[in-house]
Chain A
């Protein structure tokens, strides 16, 4: 029995853990920007961690259920309501047939993940239900959900336990400012030593152009380039390179002005130099940054990046154990 979409918020898309394996053709991995929140929401309602749910940014949708289900809302502090009554986030909520899930105003963070027992059962494309609007792939006809859509549900992997919640210490709540750890590399040598310093010294702010493809930052000093004769094919601007692949999380700075960090719906390649890459442990956090959030880029080495990744895994394992 389906879910009826009454209102859809600003940009609510079906997401799961994405479709690896097609980046060499320009089809990005996609899936939830905040993976940990998506996994936690699925665990709360008894789904496999990679089941499809909804990702809503800033404003929540309004959903009517046509059967009894369990629902969980994780990620940003966007308080859910059932038939108008306030409910906690990071908690398994029992919803009766005919009841309506809606949301209050955003208090912190940027994106919530709504998991429903059984998972959303739209057809998978290339192994995933994740919506990739640029390629009109996945989700509902390759687009964000709209009022009037009906979303089919699958069968839950195991029974949900309404009332269960993720312990406070395992929730990652975004604060008023952010630190993003960056491993320098790629075309790091293209900027001057002074620019290599100011990039990490300056406080940047999240710009309005911040979406699933990438987050743009403003406010730091422009970066100067090491002079060179541009290589054949690279293009005339000193920030240009011969078109190459872009890693997820890579930081490109067109003309040395505004850094862009590529995210889950990244363009797979292009002709701008990159100075390094945000480490995998901090990718989820980017998805929870609102425009204007002051952001410090922090220089780290590979050892630190791998240790941070272990910490994230330990946090996920903690959630798994707490909800087992």
Chain B
């Protein structure tokens, strides 16, 4: 049973599990979907997170305790639901070891665990990789699951789709930076992220993507329906690119010519748990079918 608690008089907060797992994420997603479908009068925001979720409501319309009781009733049926998702896989180009995040990480070196190295060198070392190249290979080798969108405007948190023994883990900066380049690919705990806007941040910096993921003016063709690109449940494949390709994609994005490579897929958690590498291989086939 999840842990239910109030966030003041306007929020119910539900912790499905203290630790992250795709099982906890799917329970959170199933419950938030059930709340959305229930169209409860007074509910104003439904926010799924990695292994928890939060419902904001107007206590003038529904009593906090009544809403909490309704959510508890929903949990039993949500847990019985098959953990299956109609979603999409997206290829995101990443320029690892780029000059912009490098300049930034050097500027904030005194806030880092290893002031004499780079974020990638530190992450490679503490995860037992012989070289930065081998570590980068591990970062983009398997796909990632978007398990939360938030912090600031459309920032995705991504969870690595490998067994726990192979998962990369890296602490956050000792003291958060006051600056992070826009579209930095970062890492903290067991989550990757893409910084949607420039600003403060505590995640380690591995590289940068030329792909716009948040556009408040919606001039980017693939963001014309909505200004935020990612949603929970998206699957992401990082593709390493070099400086030349970064410049060329950035120019295409700027000119409105870039369209991210995506494919519709069905993701089943049971199938994934039974055969992770096999499931991931099928996802790659779907992404690169044409």
Q: Given the known A-B contacts A183-B8, A277-B7, A280-B8, are A242 and B216 also in contact in the complex, defined by CB atoms under 8 Å?
A: no
Is there an interface contact between A247 and B8, defined as CB atoms closer than 8 Å? yes
Give 1 or 0 for each of A273-294: 1 = CB within 8 Å of chain B CB. Answer: 0101111100000000000000
Whole-angstrom distance between the alpha carbons of A235 and B176 in the complex?
14
Whole-angstrom distance between the alpha carbons of A278 and B7 in the complex?
8
- Which residues of chain B are near A136, meaning CB under 8 Å? 197, 216
Chain A min CB distance to B263 (Å): 23
- Which residues of chain A are near B65, meaning CB under 8 Å? 302
Whole-angstrom distance between the alpha carbons of A100 and B64 in the complex?
48
A-B contact pairs, 12 of them (CB 8 A): A25-B231, A26-B153, A231-B17, A241-B18, A242-B19, A244-B15, A247-B7, A249-B8, A269-B151, A271-B172, A274-B7, A306-B64
Whole-angstrom distance between the alpha carbons of A249 and B8 in the complex?
8
Contact of B19 among A234, A270, A309 (CB under 8 A): A234
Would you call B27 an interface residue if the criterion is a C-beta within 8 Å of the partner chain's C-beta atoms?
no
Would you call B45 an interface residue if the criterion is a C-beta within 8 Å of the partner chain's C-beta atoms?
yes
Is there an interface contact between A20 and B191, defined as CB atoms closer than 8 Å? no
Q: Given the known A-B contacts A234-B19, A245-B53, A269-B49, are A186 and B13 also in contact in the complex, defined by CB atoms under 8 Å?
A: yes
Would you call B189 an interface residue if the criterion is a C-beta within 8 Å of the partner chain's C-beta atoms?
yes
B residues apposed to A, CB below 8 Å: 5-11, 13, 15, 17-21, 44-54, 56, 59-60, 64-65, 148-155, 157, 164, 171-172, 188-191, 196-197, 199, 214, 216, 227-228, 231
Would you call A268 an interface residue if the criterion is a C-beta within 8 Å of the partner chain's C-beta atoms?
yes
Is there an interface contact between A134 and B153, defined as CB atoms closer than 8 Å? yes
The number of chain A residues touching the other chain, given as a range, is 35 or more
- Which residues of chain B are near A98, meaning CB under 8 Å? none
Whole-angstrom distance between the alpha carbons of A18 and B148 in the complex?
23
Contact of B9 among A20, A125, A134, A280 (CB under 8 A): A280
Q: Given the known A-B contacts A233-B20, A248-B11, A249-B8, are A25 and B52 also in contact in the complex, defined by CB atoms under 8 Å?
A: no
- Which residues of chain B are near A173, meaning CB under 8 Å? none
Whole-angstrom distance between the alpha carbons of A233 and B172 in the complex?
11
Residue of B nearest to A241 (CB): B18
Is there an interface contact between A271 and B189, defined as CB atoms closer than 8 Å? yes
Whole-angstrom distance between the alpha carbons of A126 and B191 in the complex?
29
Is there an interface contact between A25 and B197, defined as CB atoms closer than 8 Å? no
- Which residues of chain A are near B8, meaning CB under 8 Å? 183, 185, 247-250, 276-280, 305
Chain A min CB distance to B210 (Å): 19
Whole-angstrom distance between the alpha carbons of A185 and B13 in the complex?
9
The number of inter-chain residue pairs (CB within 8 angstroms) is 174
Give 1 or 0 for each of A176-196: 1 = CB within 8 Å of chain B CB. Answer: 000000010110100000000
A residues apposed to B, CB below 8 Å: 20-21, 23-27, 125-126, 132, 134-137, 142, 183, 185-186, 188, 231-236, 240-245, 247-250, 267-271, 274, 276-280, 302, 305-306, 309, 313
Is there an interface contact between A26 and B19, defined as CB atoms closer than 8 Å? no
Is there an interface contact between B189 and A234, defined as CB atoms closer than 8 Å? yes
Chain A min CB distance to B173 (Å): 11
Is there an interface contact between B7 and A135, defined as CB atoms closer than 8 Å? no
- Which residues of chain A are near B51, meaning CB under 8 Å? 233, 242, 244
Is there an interface contact between B188 and A25, defined as CB atoms closer than 8 Å? no
Is there an interface contact between B157 and A243, defined as CB atoms closer than 8 Å? yes
Please list the 6 inter-chain residue pairs (A to B) with the smallest Cβ-Cβ separation, ordered nearest first. Answer: A247-B7, A277-B8, A233-B20, A231-B19, A245-B54, A268-B150
Is there an interface contact between B11 and A269, defined as CB atoms closer than 8 Å? no
Contact of A242 among B153, B189, B228 (CB under 8 A): B189
Is there an interface contact between B50 and A244, defined as CB atoms closer than 8 Å? yes
| 13 additional contacts (CB under 8 A) given A233-B191, A245-B13, A277-B6 | A25-B228, A126-B227, A135-B153, A136-B216, A142-B216, A185-B6, A232-B19, A240-B189, A242-B17, A243-B148, A244-B51, A245-B54, A269-B150
Contact of A26 among B21, B48, B52, B152 (CB under 8 A): B152
Q: Given the known A-B contacts A242-B19, A278-B8, are A26 and B154 also in contact in the complex, defined by CB atoms under 8 Å?
A: yes
Chain A min CB distance to B3 (Å): 9
